[in-house]
């Protein structure tokens, strides 16, 4: 073995390789290229942005804008790494008002695709024509009225390993469409058009937000949407949130913008989910378009190269504010838009206490009891239930620890009597758990499949169509047979036998939403349980279904036979024991 192999020398990486590596972070797929380019056009003050794509954007992305343009001598810099016209100092970074500032997007894109950039600066006299530059950095004169036209062709032509990760044209196009929607919602004042393979997909005239949002989200959304305009301290939340009557099987209609920038932020998503928690079924997702504005000092947008993640200085305060604002709007009577949440005690809004999510369906059950409940009664009841399940009782009733069902309450709970006292079961949660374990076991062998007598046909979005094709194999392993019945129609021919009772279309939609964004090769290893949980949730008995006593007892017996039956898949308890002593205490007996 030679000495060189034992002690590798440290060498600087060639520039192109650096850019290709950086490209991995910025240029994930055509949609991420599109995002960077549209942001550049917006930063250049464009009023009209026209996007043409071919083959999902993989073959070509062309953007024509009427922005300020780039001077001839700056064209080579535009393609250079770490060259930007947007910030000059660290201080600038604290209050960037532009979308870009890293100066690496164009360089990264040019490292992995063929780029042609043509531009003419605003106010150029007639003698000053436009100039064009390509990857080789050679400048050539060109014809262009004004603004900038950039063309990106053959994405990843020189990095085949990356190219392999690209999905079908339909999927890549769907992601591009999504990016355009986000930008168009963020900037209703700018006109946009989108063409794919020569067919016009969007033509959006400059408008105000209500009009733009109506165009992009549709009347159905608007019929159920509440308007928000809420301020507290330096925080402001505006936009639209749909009532539960318009909910989705996926998170596809959740738009959050922070200071005009679309973000995918866990904290904000969590605050929203929590605001909907009590009014939306667990398997459904809310729809909203929300704009959070705050002092730029309070938020760091420099966390992620694509800048879709942000970091808040006062994250708890932001969470609180968003949660309360949404919760209030959703609870307000129709026509009464909430406009104000309490001003936090001091300007440090982070000091307001964190609100824990409301938990424990049992507690809700007790609080919504028909008796006029006194505080003392409720306290005792809470103490008695303790909110958490106890270990299954043993000796007393060895065969049937959960006892005999005696009644169903409010279509939600089963009451049963056992030797220790009384048992309350959350029927949906318990059934969900049982199904989940059964589905898991079934998958180990070969799941029994139920052919549908009448196949279910439904109208599917482009993303759903693409997902069904891409994940056909995984879906089949799970027991679903899907085929396309038209350009926008999917047919479901079979479902797992265990789920024969479920609402097929909702179930398949929810699965496709889970599968979105995931490489087909990794789904089964890493997301299997998540998919099974979705299936179980859809297959489980719905609230308000009346069960007969034998059905209730069957559920109790199945719980006893199921591993980990104490908790539903979301970690909530599925049942609670109220002992005779607890009952005595509740009624102050023996005191």
Q: What is the DSSP string of 209-229?
A: HHHHHHHHHHHHHHHTEEEEE
**What is the x/- site pattern for ligand ADP, positions 148-187, by CB under 6 A?**
x---------------------------------------
CA-nearest of 214, 208, 222, 215 to 194 is 215
Ramachandran category for residue 385: left, alpha or beta (phi over 0 → left; psi -120 to 50 → alpha) = alpha
The count of chain residues that interact with ligand ADP, using the rule CB under 6 A, is 22
Taking the least distance from each CB to Mg ion, the nearer of 88 and 245 is 88
Which of 19, 20, 32, 40 forms a contact with Mg ion (CB under 5 A)? 40
Residue 503 within binding range of ligand ADP, rule CB under 6 A:
no
Cα 125 to Cα 122: distance, rounded to the nearest angstrom: 9
Closest approach, Cβ 72 to ligand ADP, in A, equals 13
Half-sphere exposure of 267 (CA within 13 A, CB side): 21
Q: Considering beta carbons, is residue 103 or 233 the nearer one to Mg ion? A: 103
The site partner of 56 among Mg ion, ligand ADP, none (C-beta below 5 to 8 Å per kind) is: none
Q: Tell me, rounded to whole angstroms, the distance of Cα 463 from its chain centroid.
A: 14
Q: Residue 186 burial (CB < 10 Å; 0-12/13-18/19+)?
A: buried
What is the nearest approach in angstroms of Mg ion to the Cβ of residue 78?
9
101 belongs to the binding site for ligand ADP (CB under 6 A): yes
3-state DSSP helix/strand/coil percent for the chain, to nearest 5?
40, 25, 40
Nearer to ligand ADP, 101 or 323 (CB): 101
Q: Which does 148 bind (CB under 5 to 8 A by kind): ligand ADP, Mg ion, none?
A: ligand ADP
DSSP state of 573: B
What is the x/- site pattern for ligand ADP, positions 49-88, by CB under 6 A?
----------------x-xxxx-------x-----xxx--
> Can you list the alpha helix ranges (DSSP code H) found in 151-265?
160-163, 169-186, 209-223
Under rule CB under 5 A, residue 79 binds Mg ion? no
Distance of closest approach, residue 194 Cβ to ligand ADP, in angstroms: 17
Instruction: Spell out, one character per residue from 178 to 217, where the chain touches Mg ion: x when CB under 5 A holds, - when not.
Output: ----------------------------------------
Distances (CA, A) of 370 to 364, 367, 412, 543: 12, 9, 15, 19
- The count of residues in the chain is 591
Query: CB atoms < 10 A from the CB of 272, how many?
Result: 23
The listed partner (ligand ADP, Mg ion, none) that binds 101, CB under 5 to 8 Å by sort, is ligand ADP
Residue 41 contact, options Mg ion, ligand ADP, none, Cβ 5-8 Å cut-off depending on partner type: ligand ADP
- Closest distance between ligand ADP and the C-beta of residue 80, in Å? 8
Sites of contact with ligand ADP (CB under 6 A):
36, 40-41, 44, 65, 67-70, 78, 84-86, 100-107, 148
Sites of contact with Mg ion (CB under 5 A):
40, 100, 105
């Amino acid at each position: 073995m030679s000495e060189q192999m034992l002690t590798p020398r440290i060498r600087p990486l060639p520039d192109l390789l650096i850019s290709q590596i950086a490209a991995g972070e910025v240029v994930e797929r055509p949609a991420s290229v599109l995002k960077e380019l549209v942001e550049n056009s917006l930063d250049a003050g464009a009023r009209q942005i026209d996007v043409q794509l071919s083959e999902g954007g993989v073959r070509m992305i062309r953007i024509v804008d009427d922005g300020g343009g780039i001077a001839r001598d700056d064209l080579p810099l535009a393609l250079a790494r770490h060259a930007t016209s947007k910030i000059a100092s660290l201080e600038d970074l604290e209050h960037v008002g532009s979308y870009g500032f890293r100066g690496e997007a164009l360089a990264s894109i040019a490292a992995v695709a063929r780029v042609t950039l043509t531009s003419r600066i605003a106010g150029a006299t007639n003698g000053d024509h436009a100039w064009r530059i390509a990857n080789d950095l050679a400048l050539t004169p060109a014809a262009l009225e004004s603004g900038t036209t950039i063309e990106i062709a053959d994405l990843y032509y020189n990095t085949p390993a990356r190219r392999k990760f690209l999905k079908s044209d339909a999927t890549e196009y769907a992601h591009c469409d999504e990016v355009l929607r986000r930008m168009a919602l963020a900037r209703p004042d700018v006109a946009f058009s989108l063409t794919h393979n020569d067919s016009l997909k969007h033509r959006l005239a400059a408008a105000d937000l209500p009009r733009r949002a109506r165009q992009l989200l549709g009347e159905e959304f608007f019929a159920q949407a509440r308007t928000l305009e809420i301020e507290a301290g330096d925080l402001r939340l505006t936009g639209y949130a749909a009532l539960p009557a318009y909910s989705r099987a996926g998170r596809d209609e959740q738009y959050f913008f922070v200071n005009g920038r679309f973000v995918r932020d866990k904290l904000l998503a969590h605050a929203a989910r929590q605001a909907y928690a009590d009014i939306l079924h667990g398997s459904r997702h809310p729809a909203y378009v929300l704009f959070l504005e705050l002092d730029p000092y309070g938020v760091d947008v420099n966390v992620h190269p694509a800048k879709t993640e942000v970091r808040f200085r006062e994250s708890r305060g932001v969470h609180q504010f968003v949660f309360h604002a949404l919760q209030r709007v959703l609870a307000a009577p129709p026509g009464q838009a909430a406009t104000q949440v309490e001003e936090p005690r001091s300007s440090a809004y982070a000091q307001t206490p964190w609100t824990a999510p409301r938990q424990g369906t049992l507690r809700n059950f007790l609080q919504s009891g028909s008796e006029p409940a006194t505080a003392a009664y409720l306290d005792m009841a809470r103490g008695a239930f303790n909110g958490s399940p106890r270990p299954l009782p043993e000796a007393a009733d060895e065969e049937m620890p959960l006892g005999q069902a005696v009644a169903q309450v409010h279509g939600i709970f089963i009451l049963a009597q056992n030797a220790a006292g009384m048992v309350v079961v959350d029927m949906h949660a318990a059934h969900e758990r049982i199904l989940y374990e059964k589905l898991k076991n079934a998958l180990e062998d070969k799941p029994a499949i139920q052919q549908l007598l009448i196949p279910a046909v439904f109208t599917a979005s482009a993303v759903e169509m693409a997902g069904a094709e891409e994940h056909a194999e995984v879906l089949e392993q799970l027991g679903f047979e899907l085929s396309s019945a038209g350009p926008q129609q999917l047919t479901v021919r079979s479902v797992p036998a265990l789920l024969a009772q479920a609402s097929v279309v909702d179930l398949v939609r929810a699965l496709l939403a889970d599968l979105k964004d995931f490489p087909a090769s990794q789904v089964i290893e890493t997301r299997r349980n998540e998919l099974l949980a979705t299936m179980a949730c859809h297959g489980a008995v719905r609230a308000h279904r009346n069960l007969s006593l034998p059905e209730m007892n069957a559920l109790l017996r199945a719980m006893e036979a199921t591993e980990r039956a104490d908790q539903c898949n979301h970690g909530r308890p599925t049942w609670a024991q109220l002992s005779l002593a607890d009952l005595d205490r509740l009624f102050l007996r023996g005191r």
